[in-house]
Amino acid sequence: DKEGVEPNIAAMHVRAVFTVLQQAVSPGEFADVRANFSPDYEELFAVPNIF
């Protein structure tokens, strides 16, 4: 709601942030971040297929 965009667009933005974060930190650090989210958020951690 705060971003003011449709939910599917917001999900794309979240995936982009998670993708950059995953590249910026160690696998263990990313796993620690991921562990803070419920399974409901699992699809947002999927790497986008842009090819």
The per-residue pLDDT for range 9-42, each reduced to its tens digit, is 998 899 999 999 999 999 999 999 999 999 999 9
| CA diameter of the chain | 33
Q: Report yes or no on 19 lying in a domain.
A: yes
* DSSP per position, 1-51: -TT-S-HHHHHHHHHHHHHHHHHHS-HHHHHHHHHTS-GGGGGGGSPP---
Q: Report yes or no on 46 lying in a domain.
A: no
Q: Report yes or no on 51 lying in a domain.
A: no
What residue numbers bound the domain in which 14 lies?
1-34
Structural domain count, the chain: 1
What's the pTM value of the predicted model, to 2 decimals? 0.74
Q: What is the pLDDT of residues 42-51, one digit of tens each?
A: 988 876 665 5
Q: Report yes or no on 50 lying in a domain.
A: no
| Selection from 32, 8, 30 nearest residue 18 by Cα | 30
Q: Report yes or no on 43 lying in a domain.
A: no
